[in-house]
């Protein structure tokens, strides 16, 4: 059940297409700095030429990229509510999760297979899967009549919803998907507050971002860093809250969208191209030495 506070979107300036295009642009900026620019920095570090301005530029580029996933999580919740076929929606996400894995590993690990991290399509798939089971169980509940036995059945359906959300979060953690369970919870948070006023969305999403990132870092690095340091380190995710500048201008309309094949294919193709560019840039730098 959503936290319902009526939201008037009629005055918004941006369509779903504008949000989606912004998400892809900010994602590209993030990945350019994470793949190509980082490769240049590492090579410059070996040669002893890295400057503070290069480090600062890298930080700014990655900060811009924090906006991307917030927009994608929002669009996943919107797409789930409005899609004609949730089965096909899940199928597309699942197919492109596997299609994107080799480009993802090449771009970020320089190998065709790296089990230490899976691409963001797996996170999106798990988030939408959790919502699918959640709505299925919620849809069954009204048909259950009153009575002690049926009260237990209603309680069981609530349990199914919670179990589905937790199971997808656990799966994201053990599969080591991009953004892990924080990504799944973000999609759920946007679904839960889809009819809420913006301050409520910002508060809930901000809590999920900060606590989800901090807890994931704590579980992973508790033996190496203090809880306080990991909390401060996790604050960098809060740059993603700038995404609400665009979300607040959303008018609820679809807008003129590019073909679905472009949006789904952009992710693996651009990662592969960035990997190739990084390789060529490094080869050129080594030859120049």
Mean pLDDT confidence for 271-276: 97
Mean pLDDT confidence for 228-233: 91
Report the chain's C-alpha Rg in angstroms: 21
- For residue 147, what is the DSSP state? S
Of the candidates 262, 246, 283, the residue with the CA atom closest to the CA atom of residue 13: 246
- Name the token pair of 211: 């606590």
- Of 121-125, 201-205, 239-243, 258-262, the least confident: 258-262
- Name the token pair of 171: 């799966």
Tell whether the model's pLDDT for residue 265 goes beyond 80. yes
Q: How many CB atoms lie within 10 A of CB 58?
A: 17
In the numeric block, the tokens 């939201």 are attached to 7
- Of 6-20, 71-85, 90-104, the least confident: 6-20
Model confidence at 6, in pLDDT bands (50, 70, 90)? Answer: very low
Tens digit of pLDDT for each residue in 49-69?
777 888 899 999 999 999 999
Which position has the higher pLDDT, 169 or 254? 169
Mean pLDDT confidence for 185-189: 97
Q: How many CB atoms lie within 10 A of CB 135?
A: 16
Q: How many CA atoms lie within 13 A of 91 on its CB side?
A: 5
pTM value is: 0.91
Tell whether the model's pLDDT for residue 74 goes beyond 80. yes
- Name the token pair of 118: 């899976």
Mean pLDDT confidence for 74-84: 94
Mean pLDDT confidence for 77-95: 94
Tell whether the model's pLDDT for residue 73 goes beyond 70. yes
């Amino acid at each position: 059940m959503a936290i319902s506070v009526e939201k008037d979107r009629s005055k918004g300036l941006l369509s779903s297409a504008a949000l989606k295009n912004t998400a892809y642009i900010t994602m590209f900026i993030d990945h350019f700095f994470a793949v190509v620019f980082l490769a240049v920095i590492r090579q410059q570090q070996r040669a002893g030429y890295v400057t503070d301005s290069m480090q600062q530029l890298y930080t700014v580029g990655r900060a811009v990229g924090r906006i991307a996933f917030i927009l994608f999580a929002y669009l996943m919740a919107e797409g789930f509510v409005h899609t004609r076929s949730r089965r096909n929606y899940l199928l597309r996400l699942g197919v492109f999760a596997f299609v994107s894995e080799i480009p993802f590993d090449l771009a970020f690990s320089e190998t065709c297979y790296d089990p230490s991290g899976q691409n963001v399509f797996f996170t999106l798939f798990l988030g939408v899967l959790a919502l699918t089971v959640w709505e299925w169980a919620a849809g069954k509940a009204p048909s259950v009549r009153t009575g002690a036995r049926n009260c237990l059945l209603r309680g069981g359906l609530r349990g199914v919803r919670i179990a589905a959300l937790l199971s997808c979060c656990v799966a994201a953690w053990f599969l080591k998907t991009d953004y892990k369970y924080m990504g799944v919870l973000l999609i759920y948070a946007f679904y839960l507050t889809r009819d809420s006023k913006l301050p409520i969305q910002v508060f809930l999403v901000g809590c999920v971002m900060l606590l989800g990132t901090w807890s994931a870092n704590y579980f992973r690095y508790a033996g190496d860093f203090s809880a306080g340091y990991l909390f401060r380190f996790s604050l960098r995710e809060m740059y993603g809250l700038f995404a609400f500048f665009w979300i607040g201008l959303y008018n609820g309309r679809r807008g003129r969208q590019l073909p679905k094949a472009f949006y789904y294919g952009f992710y693996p193709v651009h990662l592969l191209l960035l990997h190739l560019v990084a390789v060529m840039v490094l080869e050129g730098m080594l030859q120049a030495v």
